[in-house]
Chain A
Amino acid sequence: MKRKGYMGKILMVDLSQGTIWEESPPEEIYRRYLGGMGLGAHILYQRIPAGADPLGPDNMLGFLPGLLTGTGSLFTGRWMVVGKSPLTGGWGDANCGGTFSPEIKRCGYDGIFVRGTSPTPVYLYVDDQTRELRDASAVWGLDAVETEAWLKAHAKPGGKKPKVACIGPAGEQVSLISGIATDQGRLAARSGLGAVMGAKRLKAVVLCGQKRIEPHNREEMKRLSQACNRWVQFQPPFVPGPLTALVGALMRIMPAVITQDGILYKILLKKWGTVSMNQLSPEMGDAPIRNWKGSSRDWGFRKSYSTHPGVFSRRETVKFHCYSCPLGCGAICALDGKYAQTHKPEYETVLSLGGFCLNQDVDSIFYLNEVLNRAGMDTISAGHAVAFALECYEAGIIDREDTGGLELTWGNSRAIVALVEQMVRREGFGHVLADGVKQAAHRIGKGSEVCAVLAGGQEPAMHDGRNDPGFALHYSVEPTPGRHTLGAHLYYEMFQLWKVVRGVPRMPPIYLKGSKYKNPQRQAAIGAANSRFMTLVNCAGACLFAAFLGARRFRLFEWLNAATGWDLSSEAYMDLAGEIHTLKQAFNVKHGIEPRDHRISDRALGRPVQTEGANKGRSIDIEAMMTHYWQAFGWDPQTGKPGQEILEKLGRAA
């Protein structure tokens, strides 16, 4: 039995041929690409031909646990789905928690890769003895929660219950903003990879394995986990939810910033989850409001009060922990009406369907959260599509005749609910929006493009780059544009990388807020360190929120060595992560992406500048930051493309 944390095999599936086989990557591949996203980048770069149709048989979809998943480390139960994104036309990935990740390893694999297109709907079933494609006609058309329940009841009789990752109706209908669901509605949502699965007519991946996952040094893994857990369990008594708004207001007013210690955010997360930011973020200018046109003035304390964190914790029936998570930021909440329960909505969902549309009706947000989870549609992109339509309606670009009678005014929760219900069914005006903002603008035309805020075709998340230029940078330069989970100035403060990695920028204990908008070279250096570190986090299968604890509390580098038996320095791991990051950028270039086209829309950069609110007068010099960022990886500073010399170093020269 291997004692290296990884399983040493990957499973390959060809849906067109109906064939399934195993491959055994040599150790050198693991040492270079680690696992998770890195292993996915290696396989997909190699095997997806240039120019492949993302919705065609040549595209591949990979399901990958992390290198640390199942090794006794904490916060490492996340899995990645990777493929060529139909939304951006380039590298696509989406990340999800829940309990699915270790099951991939329990089946004996470090990744499951699917190519081809099935003539009829199928699901992939894998256990210790069986690997087969099965007819999915019984679940085709069911929502994600119903599908999971059916497959758990019927795919395997008795004993340990299988784990399921599936698409809902949105994926089946090849919605370009659909994702892949596990654990009754947790979504790997971004990059539109649910559409790839739907186009392949692969309804679900059902896994039930028993294999052991053996780290090199289990005692050391436990020692590191126990040290980390002591920080997680530290939880002082806490203030009522609405007071978070006051903290946000203070952060808005103060000209200086104390470099944030992530233990504070950990306390908020453990108490309320991500909804702890519902009032804090809009107050401090972190949340985009009214389709990036509004400000904290449009979504002040009284309006955001209906979504204060206490509203959500009151509805919790049980906390939800992803696999190996000691914190439990999620929860199951009770609902009235059509559905009995839902996963507690995340901050992103609450803001995109709340403040972003000026919707104060929290019941509608709970309901739509469940509707979208069951349909398997990304709540961030769906909220963007709705806000885009609201602005088009306000501007007179569309009218009641176009919307089928819906009065799409800001904050009209009934109309918003009806519109989202149409989107998930691809009915009426919902069909126009069901593929996201880029497609909607294309379908509507009539100058509606000015209302579309995008980064490389992807709807950005609910964090405003005008408040934290790091978000604007990562939205614009990442191989997966528009992503909020890969870096920000604030994230860098919390990662505290400079304490364990040599050569990365140090943060002073206190700094002037205005300094974030100056010195693009330093901002880019911070961004490059963020990208490397988050690549590593995503190779390990780890959670962003755990990384917020700080590198001395969440000891990723030491866990990696203890799990694998390698003896690499933190700097060596960061270098490997840099190469993986470059490989994703090279994937984009191979598929015809111009990196500069990923730049986020002007409106989100403060062009024109806002005249009121928390981000008043702020504008981001994104071009300078992008140039320095590309230089930090050795890519062409004008085009953002990795040169031939770098590709040769990666063994990827044409």
Chain B
Amino acid sequence: MAYQITDNCTGCTLCAHFCPTGAARGVKKARHAIAAQLCIECGACGRICPHNAVQDPFGRMAKSEKKKDWKKPVFDLGLCMACGICVDACPAGCLEPGPPDPKRKTAYPLLSDPGACLGCGFCARECPVEAVSLEIRADAEAAAGAA
């Protein structure tokens, strides 16, 4: 199962730029393709594509979204166990253990690079205790604007 690129592709290279595994490939101004064995179904290619040229694994057209509208992780530190599953799940490497909480001496997860977040939601999906929710974040919006 993998995402696919359709004839609508103009070869703008945005998907290749955002793909965290190098699965989306192609030369500029030519139709791109996704290497199925590398695709992890994060959906970044579909979200970023300005030409609606990407199909999800079920054959549905992926919907393009402005980067500032991508939903990104917010952590409920009352539920979080600091187990590191979300940090490990992140394909973009934009999560990391934050500075230690002074009272509990615990490093809770932190979205350290909001601009790099792909909004894939793997962190929320894999969190065993539902401590991660996906929301439009003001800091991520600012990072997207700056980018």
Q: Which residues of A contact B (CB under 8 A)?
A: 1, 70, 72-74, 77, 99, 102-103, 106, 128-129, 159-161, 210-212, 218, 221-222, 225-226, 229, 232-233, 316-319, 321-326, 328, 331
The answer to whether B128 and A229 have CB atoms under 8 Å apart is yes
With most chain B CB atoms within 10 A of its CB, the pick from A321, A323, A325, A331 is A321
> Given the interface contacts A160-B90, A160-B93, A229-B128, does A72 sit within 8 Å of B107 by beta carbon?
no
Q: In the complex the two chains form, what is the Cα distance from A128 to B91 in whole Å? A: 11
Determine whether B1 belongs to the interface, using a CB cutoff of 8 Å to chain A: yes
Q: B87-109 toward A: CB 8 Å interface, digit per residue (1/0)?
A: 01011110000001000111100
Closest to A222 in B: B128
CB distance from B92 to the nearest CB of A (A): 7
Determine whether B122 belongs to the interface, using a CB cutoff of 8 Å to chain A: yes
Instruction: Select one of B40, B41, B88, B130 contacting A323, CB under 8 A.
Output: B88
Residues of A within 8 A of B92 (CB): 159-160
Q: In the complex the two chains form, what is the Cα distance from A328 to B108 in whole Å? A: 12
Q: Which residues of B contact A (CB under 8 A)?
A: 1, 20-22, 38, 40-41, 81-85, 88, 90-93, 100, 104-107, 122, 125-126, 128-130
Q: In the complex the two chains form, what is the Cα distance from A229 to B129 in whole Å? A: 8
The answer to whether A212 and B40 have CB atoms under 8 Å apart is yes
Residues of A within 8 A of B83 (CB): 74, 321, 323-326
The answer to whether A328 and B82 have CB atoms under 8 Å apart is yes
The answer to whether B106 and A319 have CB atoms under 8 Å apart is yes
The answer to whether B93 and A318 have CB atoms under 8 Å apart is no
Q: In the complex the two chains form, what is the Cα distance from A608 to B34 in whole Å? A: 71
Q: In the complex the two chains form, what is the Cα distance from A565 to B85 in whole Å? A: 22
The answer to whether A326 and B81 have CB atoms under 8 Å apart is yes
CB distance from A456 to the nearest CB of B (A): 36
Q: In the complex the two chains form, what is the Cα distance from A232 to B82 in whole Å? A: 13
With most chain A CB atoms within 10 A of its CB, the pick from B83, B91, B130 is B83
Having A160-B92, A160-B93, one finds 14 other A-B pairs with CB under 8 Å, namely: A1-B1, A74-B81, A74-B128, A99-B84, A106-B88, A160-B20, A210-B20, A210-B40, A212-B122, A225-B129, A229-B128, A319-B105, A319-B106, A324-B128
Closest to A103 in B: B88
Residues of B within 8 A of A321 (CB): 81-84
20 CB < 8 A contacts A-B: A72-B85, A99-B84, A128-B38, A159-B20, A160-B91, A160-B92, A210-B20, A211-B40, A212-B40, A225-B128, A229-B128, A318-B105, A319-B100, A321-B82, A321-B83, A323-B84, A324-B83, A324-B128, A326-B82, A326-B83
Q: How many A-B residue pairs have CB under 8 A?
A: 89
CB distance from A130 to the nearest CB of B (A): 10
Instruction: Select one of B91, B93, B125 contacting A161, CB under 8 A.
Output: B93
Q: In the complex the two chains form, what is the Cα distance from A160 to B129 in whole Å? A: 24
Instruction: Select one of A210, A211, A226 contacting B128, CB under 8 A.
Output: A226
Q: In the complex the two chains form, what is the Cα distance from A73 to B22 in whole Å? A: 29
> Given the interface contacts A128-B38, A229-B81, A331-B105, does A318 sit within 8 Å of B100 by beta carbon?
yes
Closest to B88 in A: A102
Residues of B within 8 A of A212 (CB): 40-41, 122
Q: In the complex the two chains form, what is the Cα distance from A218 to B122 in whole Å? A: 13
Closest to B42 in A: A210
CB distance from B25 to the nearest CB of A (A): 11
The answer to whether A318 and B91 have CB atoms under 8 Å apart is no
Q: In the complex the two chains form, what is the Cα distance from A324 to B38 in whole Å? A: 25
